[in-house]
Amino acid sequence: MPFNTKLTKALGIKVPIVQGGMQWVGYAELASAVSNAGGLGILTALTQPTPEDLRKEIRKCKTMTNKPFGVNITLLPSMNAPDYGAYAQVAIDEGIRIVETAGNSPGPVIKKLKAVGTIILHKCTTIRHAQSAIKLGVDFLSIDGFECAGHVGETDITNFILLSRARQSLDVPFIASGGFADGQGLAAALSLGAEGINMGTRFMCTVEAPIHKNIKEEIVRAQETDTELVLRRWKNTSRLYKNKVTDAAVKIEKESKTGKFEEVAPYVSGKRGREVFINGDPDYGVWTAGQVIGLIHDIPTCDELVKRIEREAEETLNKASALIAPASKL
């Protein structure tokens, strides 16, 4: 049974699953595999050092799939911010018609992309932020619950509540992000009003994910309790895989008398996090993972995973509908 949601129709995909735009993970190898499997693959713009490098990666991805794929542009708080407009222009120049945005003050980038008819998926962790994004003209909202990996926001609202609030109060279609790994989760998200799901951590643990096999095996071994919230003190909370480095960072965060970010900065270095995916040592640096790691027990290909989720979701929705007795039997 093919899915027929606003997301599948708008994006031209078969299964309402979007691959998260993950730093140091969203390369052409993974994005093309997800798209070829029937979902929406995403290239991560800031994984590329320059806009021209993004152009090369887009062109590489086009040689690996003829299906739709998108680009993630995340606007981060930084003293030396990248030229987000230039990354957006490359996406436009290369004919990318789907962009996932996230982060601070996305208005100028969204305006630039919308001017040429780009479909925008914008990530939000609160309903208030979602309502602000709607004013910018986004096409879909990605509603990120507290379970998610990376930046979880500061309100600690889980998806069960957040998705229902989105259903009650938002006029723009939305997808569910954070805590999804299987077809039962997709069925639940659709039942709560979402048009599809976004998966990050689950796609990290696939054959095509361009990260070291040791890290994939670490995810398989992990439990749902094996994540850590870091940088709460500075209102920049991130959910990371719990390891020796996050333990040290949290200890400093709790015990520091000065509260200076510089004390913890070496421990949350993105550069060392990137090295984790290359050298395979899960304790070498910090790396993002959601609570969904407790639901991940294998390392399939993207094709196997998407087909499995599609089958499980259909079975789950059919099983749920069978619970309703015909009126004549009541």
- Model pLDDT for residues 189-216, shown as the tens digit of each residue: 999 999 999 999 999 999 999 999 999 9
Concatenated DSSP letters of 61-91: HHHH-SS-EEEEEEE---TT---HHHHHHHH
* Whether the predicted pLDDT of 106 surpasses 60: yes
Distance of CA 155 to the CA centre of its chain: 18
Q: Write down the pLDDT at residue 330.
A: 56
Please tell me the total count of domains within the chain.
2
State whether 239 and 131 are in the same domain.
no
Instruction: Write the pLDDT tens digit of every residue in 113-127.
Output: 999 999 999 999 999
User: Is 250 inside any structural domain?
Assistant: yes
The answer to whether position 291 is within a domain reads no
One domain, residues 134 and 273:
no
Query: Are residues 179 and 79 part of one domain?
Result: yes
Instruction: Domain of residue 126: give its range.
Output: 6-210+298-320
Q: Residues of 113-123 as b/e, b for ≥16 C-beta within 10 angstroms?
A: bbeeebbbbbb
Query: Does 187 share its domain with 274?
Result: no
Tokens of residue 188, six digits: 């639940």
CATH, residue 59:
3.20.20.70
Q: Is residue 216 part of a domain?
A: no
Q: Which helix (H) or strand (E) holds 11?
A: helix 6-11
Listed range (96-110, 130-144, 315-329) with the worst mean pLDDT: 315-329
Helix H or strand E encompassing 271: helix 270-279
Task: Give residue-wise pLDDT tens across range 252-282.
Answer: 999 998 988 999 999 998 888 899 999 999 9
Whole-angstrom distance, CA of residue 70 vs CA of residue 18:
9
Note whether 307 and 160 are same-domain residues.
Answer: yes
Q: DSSP string of 294-320?
A: GG------HHHHHHHHHHHHHHHHHHH
- d(Cα 85, Cα 307) in Å, to the nearest integer? 36
Q: Is residue 325 part of a domain?
A: no
> What pLDDT is recorded for position 149?
96
